[in-house]
Amino acid sequence: MAGRGRGNPLALAVLALLYEKPMHPYELATTMRERRKEESIKLNYGSLYAVVQALQKRGLIEELETVREGRRPERTVYGITERGRLELFDWLGELISTPVKEYTNFEAALSLLPVLPVEDALALLRERRTKLEQELTAADALREWVGKQGVPRLYYIEWEYTVRLRRAELEWVAELIEEIAEGRLEGMDVWRSFQREFQGEFQGEAQGEGRRAEDRG
């Protein structure tokens, strides 16, 4: 089973919830939202139903019964199979024990940073710093509220992990901004030279295109 269909954390969440008890898809989604798991696992109803169907097809979950509540449409209740329980523990164990390379959008953008003019890059990094500060302020308020509700730390450690990452990112971004602003970042001369050369070529092409347009006119 290892490695098969393990690209979607939502499938792992479905297995974990059905390990607790049988549920229908609407209850799965409601439970995740009540526990604020959508902060860590991307959730929408369309993808949830697709995940449920895929798990059933693989024999990891099975239909148990169809129920109707009042005037609501019938809903199919699913339960986890023995095969599903084995997959749940194996998959979860793999994710917790083994670090993997994650390709983030920010990392990709940083690898292409010299494409931007230095001043533009600085402005964008400062904007990111502000948004990170706002996000962390909101996270602190949420954590304080959760603490007042008496929720054990065990049930929001994923938030704590995310906040720690964000704080580290904020500190690093702030340092990078200072290095660029003060010209201390190694390679700044190459960056500025590249931009001067690029801007010169761009302006030359623009002027040439303008002359050709005049000639056509």
Structural domain includes residue 204: no
| 85 and 130 inside one domain | no
- When pLDDT is averaged across residues 36-57 and rounded to a whole number, the result is 92
Structural domain includes residue 210: no
Q: For the chain, what is the mean pLDDT?
A: 89
Q: Name the domain boundary from 97, 131, 162.
A: 97
Q: Which domain holds residue 122?
A: 105-185
Q: How many CB atoms are located within 10 Å of the residue 32 CB?
A: 21
Is residue 49 over pLDDT 80?
yes
Is residue 200 over pLDDT 70?
no
Of 201 and 77, the structure prediction assigns the larger pLDDT to 77
Is residue 40 over pLDDT 70?
yes
Nearest-Å Rg of the Cα atoms of the chain is 26
First to last CA, the chain: 68
Is residue 42 over pLDDT 60?
yes
pTM of the model: 0.78
- When pLDDT is averaged across residues 51-62 and rounded to a whole number, the result is 97
Of 43, 29, 82, 30, residue with least CA distance to 60: 82
Structural domain includes residue 199: no
Percent of the chain with pLDDT over 90: 69
Residues 6+ apart with CB under 8 A from 85: 15, 19
Structural domain includes residue 50: yes
Of 44, 170, 157, residue with least CA distance to 106: 170
Q: What is the DSSP letter of 187?
A: T
| 112 and 169 inside one domain | yes
| 73 and 145 inside one domain | no
Residue carrying structure tokens 């969440």: 13
CA 209 to each of CA 108, 148, 195, 201: distance values in angstroms, whole numbers, following the listed order: 33, 65, 21, 12
Which pLDDT band, with edges at 50, 70 and 90, does 11 fall under?
very high
Conformation bin of residue 3: beta by default, left when phi > 0, alpha when psi is -120 to 50: left
> Domain containing 40 — which CATH number?
1.10.10.10
Q: Name the domain boundary from 77, 97, 117.
A: 97
| 13 and 83 inside one domain | yes
**Residue 117 φ then ψ, to 5°:** -60, 145
How many helices and strands (H and E) does the chain possess? 8, 2
For the chain, how many structural domains are there in total? 2
Element (H, E) at 65: strand 61-67
The first and second tokens of residue 72, run together, are: 């609501």
